[in-house]
Amino acid sequence: MRRAFSLIETCIAIALGSVIAGAALACLRAASSAIASANRLATENSCMRAGFTAALDEADFWQAVDRADDPTRQRLRGGDGVRWLPFAPFSLSFAPTESQIDGLPNRWTPTDPWPAHDPRYWFRGNLAEHTMSTDNRWGYYENFTHLEAAPDLGPGGSGIASPRHRWLFNQMEGLKNALGYYGLCEYLPANALYAVYGDRDSAVGWSHEWSAPTPQGIENNYLSQRGADCDLPRGDYVLTMYHLFALPVNASGAAALAETRHGLLTGRDSNSAHVAAFETHARWTERTLALRPAHWPDVRMSVARYVAHGRFTTQCAVRWLSPVTGDAVELSFTTLATSLRGARQQRVDPGDPSRDLDGGTYQP
Amino acid sequence: MVAGSGARSGHAAKRGFTLFEIAVSLAIAATAVTSVMLVFPAGMKSQTMARYQIYAAAKALELVDGYTAFHTANPAMDSEAPAPWMVSSTYGNLAPDLEHRLASFRFGLFPLPIDLARRIDSDGDEIQRILDDGAYLYYSQPLATTGFKETAVGAAPPNEAQRLVFAVVGHAQQNALTHFPWKNWPYYVPYPSPPAHGHGANEPGYSKPANRTPVAGMPSAFRARTVFLWEDLGCEDPDMRFVFDAADDTGTAYGYRDHLKTHDRASAERYCRAALWYLARKGFGAELDGITAGLTDWVGAPDQAGRRDQVRAMRFLAHAASCLTAYVPRGELDAGVALAPVAFVGAPATAIAMRNVVITSANIAAYHDTCLDFAMRFASRHPYDWLVPRPLNRQTMMDFPLLQWDLFTAPLSGTIPHTAIRAEQWRPIAADTDTLSRSIGRGFQFMNLDVPSTDPAWPSGAGGAPFWGDPSRFTLAEPFAPSERCRQLVFWAVDWQAWEDFETAPSAPVDAGRYPLSAPFLAATGFASLMERFRFMDWQQFGYRNPEKTLAFTNPSVATAATGSDVAAFIAGNDNVAVHDRGATPVAMSVFSGRWGADRNANKRLDRGPVPRSQRLRASTVGRFNYYDLRVMGEIR
């Protein structure tokens, strides 16, 4: 005889079944939500890691600035015959007409360590001499060192001089013209003093481009940023204390030539507009995952390189937008990175496949 | 009954589950489901931790990058005094280890308020043990350490990386002295140049009447200042006073000061004659007759003092002779300018008789070359002879003195200026203490005081014991194992910004050595005047002040402000005009100490988290990074 379930049994069975079904549903929902969140987090992490890696890769190899294998993405290799961009090979950009000065090769020698004890590298100008409003009461040190072989010092300096030491100033001027200000700071030794005698306007006194405003009062397109009150030769700390020198990454041609010879205010007297100008000038930004699925975060990697307060900085940022909330999150950091000199040594001179851009032996 | 019993028995074999069995099976099922559910948060936690590990890696990279690349300059600050406790630079604020270097408003390492740090649990209670040892727990600024003026950068976007806190673990280390407080060597001057001089106010060093030589009409940077010869006392050579400023028995002025003011051909020639007098006084000069190429070795075989003389003599002669190029026509100078001997009122006799000297253009160029050669040669050969200023033309890291404190000899002692507070500091030792102790001279800022000073008014505190420590305890140049220099950065993740008081909690204690304190000077009327004398310059002084300075609140009313309210007007920032933390007023000292908290997420709003301060939070260990901690200052380019 088979009896039916009693009412109480049925009730208990229904209750138990409900518990099981409820638990299973809750579990399913929680599992589904957790899996979705974990997946989203994992995807975000992966994308962020990709951006982080891309930023470090760019810090190491400078591919966004100059892609070695793609001539269409080599915006910083040209020049106007006098001034050049930072990735122009020295075979083009540092090829002076005088092959020898002071008995030394008048070109960039990649293997030369510029030892401090070597008299070739001693700065011989008058370090107490102002560029502006000087009366030369301490004499004309242009007689000792100068860019030119026979500078005309005019009536005050008694005409044509015959300076004995020209090599250092020509190296400095050559680097400035070949690389722009950022590259110049990087290539000169840490204790370099930034001034040379003679420029296109006058053979007497410090070159205005190196140490003083132009007569027209154009600001920020000269190496020394302090104006007439402090127009003395200086090192890279003071030189970049108020204005930094950045590597321009968003310009090409004549605009890039100008920007490589331009200081950007970010120091004491700066404001948000100045920082915005820096961002426009110096920050390279690219989408890390351009062909991503729509539900992946939009990750952008950016890198800016500059020298400020004498510190060479490679500043990276990884920013991503959540596809769900639209919120932006940013990870920004600076990192140890390949120098411009290192980046140039990573690239082959198009005119001589055995040489890198500095003229050293190319080692792929 | 039996059959029936058998039938019932057979039916019983097919019966359903009992309630008990079902309950047991449900319990098993619930356990399984719960276990599976527990796995999901673990997966989330794993992903979250993976994210923090990326943040920590980026932050560690940045810390090491900043540590090696940030400049070490802290100019526009007093670093010399008669006793070490009179200037901040004696203490730890400028030390070369990572924590001291980077714990700065500009370099991105901010101590987490102790109130908050003490509420954080961690594995093995590591954070609390670190705090117990006197160390800080740090958080980082929201954005990368750009080196830009902070207030120009603007509000920071939300930044998860700020949830990272980190600390340095490892052995304590003895750092090198970055500033020798009695004489902050190296001193640099251009070569060639006149005897070194400076300008200043009423520091004790400038108050010695015999040495006070005001010069009116100085150009540019020296305009309206009073100029004083320093090097004669500072470098123990009174003879150079006659190169700086002298007069013959007719009252005619000679020397640098005269040419500075007069600047004509006659004054240039008189300056040259004063420099030639100095050469004769030092016993040489004839060796330079007719030279047209720079000398590349000393004249004769001088000892260390004789080399000093030759470096100075060539520096002055090259400088003076160069002046002729501005006033003597080239043709005439090529042929030579005759300069007669001279005698000065009050000057000692020369070691050799002065002669008529003819100086040509070629001679001047050779003097210039010789001047530089001798200066470089001396700097390399005698690094611990501080009686010859170093050439500005050649600053190198290899000419930075290695100095440290002797931690095992009774310290120097004295009192804080204008107070009765007792102060102590260890005795110094150098890589070559013997040479340094014999050739240290005097400091620029207190040039009327010996080093060490025994002046009753300005004692260096050596008492009757030797001033210098035991040189055998010098360790900076000792070989060491890599492990001795290894320190570890430990990162944890904790949502410390969830606390209700994460912005209103006071800053972690700020070392008093971080206050930009003036060295004592005669015009001071009390300790408060030393606190107020210096202009605080955000763009120059990086190792000073509260690391949270640019975020610190300047007004106690912030504590009662509504959550989310705009507090930009109450953030110290760095606008170069309004300096809130300078001086001895209660408000200034409160801002300096970060007493009213700080805008720690840099969004310029007052934020309060949902977690009450009574609740503790647990930090998860994210990663550990080993690094090399320097004992001396250094930068990588």
Tell me the C-alpha distance between B169 and B627, whole Å: 11
- Supply the pLDDT for residue B14: 61
For the ranges A121-135, A223-237, B5-19, the one whose mean pLDDT is highest:
A121-135
pLDDT tens digits, one per residue of A70-80: 988 899 999 99
Q: Which residue of A has its CA nearest to B635?
A: A311
Indicate which of B26, B33, B49, B633 best probes the interface with A, i.e. most A CBs within 10 Å of its own CB: B33
Q: Which stretch of DSSP H or E encloses residue B406? A: strand B403-406
Q: Between B36, B44, B323, which is nearest A38 by CB? A: B44
User: Do the chains contact at B59 and A156, CB–CB below 8 Å?
Assistant: no
- Supply the pLDDT for residue B576: 67
Query: In chain B, how many H helices and how many E strands?
Result: 17, 19
Cβ(B390)–Cβ(B193) below 8 Å: no
B481 touching A (Cβ < 8 Å): no
Indicate which of A334, A336, A339, A340 best probes the interface with B, i.e. most B CBs within 10 Å of its own CB: A334
Residues from chain B contacting residue A116 (CB–CB below 8 Å): 394, 396, 398
Q: What number of C-beta contacts closer than 8 Å exist between A and B?
A: 230
Q: Which residue of A has its CA nearest to B68?
A: A336
A234 pLDDT tier (thresholds 50, 70, 90):
confident
- Supply the pLDDT for residue B207: 34
Q: How far B348 CA lies from chain A's nearest CA (Å)?
A: 27
- Supply the pLDDT for residue B214: 45
What percent helix, strand, coil does chain A show, rounded to 5? 35, 15, 50
Phi, psi of B622 (to 5 degrees): -100, -45
Q: Which stretch of DSSP H or E encloses residue B315? A: helix B304-323
pLDDT tops 90 at residue A17: no
Q: DSSP 3-state assignment of B399?
A: helix
DSSP 8-class letter at A218 = -
Q: Between B66, B190, B372, which is nearest A128 by CB? A: B190
Query: What's the mean pLDDT in A190-201?
Result: 88
User: Do the chains contact at A164 and B369, CB–CB below 8 Å?
Assistant: yes
Q: Between A44, A266, A314, which is nearest B152 by CB? A: A266
CA A194 remoteness from chain centre: 19
- Supply the pLDDT for residue B2: 43
B158 touching A (Cβ < 8 Å): yes
Q: What is the mean pLDDT of chain A?
A: 88
Residues from chain A contacting residue B329 (CB–CB below 8 Å): 158
Q: Which residue of B has its CA nearest to A55?
A: B58
User: Do the chains contact at B61 and A331, CB–CB below 8 Å?
Assistant: no
User: Do the chains contact at A313 and B147, CB–CB below 8 Å?
Assistant: yes
pLDDT tens digits, one per residue of A199-226: 877 899 888 888 754 443 334 345 554 4
User: Do the chains contact at A34 and B43, CB–CB below 8 Å?
Assistant: yes
Residues from chain A contacting residue B54 (CB–CB below 8 Å): 45, 48-49, 52, 331
Give strand ranges (E) for B407-473. Answer: 412-415, 422-425, 427-430
Cβ(B116)–Cβ(B508) below 8 Å: no
Locate A345 and state its tokens: 């040594």
User: Do the chains contact at A140 and B325, CB–CB below 8 Å?
Assistant: yes
Q: Model ipTM?
A: 0.89
Locate A305 and state its tokens: 């390189």
User: Do the chains contact at B44 and A230, CB–CB below 8 Å?
Assistant: no
Q: How far A164 CA lies from chain B's nearest CA (Å)?
A: 8
Q: Where are the domains of chain B?
A: 48-171+486-628, 188-399
Query: What's the mean pLDDT in A1-7?
Result: 72
Tell me the C-alpha distance between B213 and B228, whole Å: 5
B393 touching A (Cβ < 8 Å): yes
**Segments in chain B below pLDDT 50:** 1-10, 202-225
Residues from chain B contacting residue A314 (CB–CB below 8 Å): 65
Cβ(B390)–Cβ(B187) below 8 Å: yes
Q: How far B338 CA lies from chain A's nearest CA (Å)?
A: 18
Residues from chain A contacting residue B272 (CB–CB below 8 Å): none
Residues from chain B contacting residue A283 (CB–CB below 8 Å): none
- Supply the pLDDT for residue A216: 38
Cα-atom radius of gyration of chain B, to the nearest Å?
35
Side chain identity at residue B105, one-letter code: F
Side chain identity at residue A361, one-letter code: T
Q: Which residue of A has its CA nearest to B377?
A: A117
pLDDT tops 60 at residue A228: no
Residues from chain A contacting residue B33 (CB–CB below 8 Å): 23-24, 27
Least confident span in A16-20, A140-144, A298-302, B148-152:
B148-152
Tell me the C-alpha distance between B539 and B535, whole Å: 11
Burial B471-484 (b: 16+ CB within 10 A, else e): eeebebeeeeeeee
- Supply the pLDDT for residue B77: 87
Q: How far B560 CA lies from chain A's nearest CA (Å)?
A: 30
- Between helices B265-281 and B304-323, what is the axis angle to 10°? 170
Residues from chain A contacting residue B145 (CB–CB below 8 Å): 334
